[in-house]
Amino acid sequence: MLKFLLVVAVVGVAIYLLVRVIERRGVRRRGDGGAGGRPAPRRPLGPDDDPEFLWNLDKRKRHPKRRPEDPDAGPGAGPGPAPAS
């Protein structure tokens, strides 16, 4: 019986030490960044995650582009019904 408890204790200590080493080394699963140990750089998943897109969107919202007006059109020209003659 004492031999059995000794074997269980040794196996438990060995498993504990193995898990500690694996956690400290940071062993990665497949697909977590490759063999280099460094994770792949994160890319935006969609336009709402892209900081440059959001910056441009905010810029356009604050300062909308003005449409060039037709120099031949008078002040009354534009969309809508034509004046009756």
Structure tokens at 67: 């449409």
The residue assigned the tokens 């694996």 is 22
Sequence spans of domains, the chain: 1-62
Structure tokens at 70: 């037709």
Output the CA–CA distances (angstroms, integers) from residue 69 to 23, 62, 72, 75, 77, in the order listed.
66, 21, 9, 10, 10
pLDDT at 54 (0 to 100) = 85
What's the average pLDDT block by block, 10 residues per block, for the chain (85 residues)?
95 96 75 59 71 86 70 56 60
Q: How many CA atoms lie within 13 A of 73 on its CB side?
A: 9
**pTM of the shown model:** 0.33
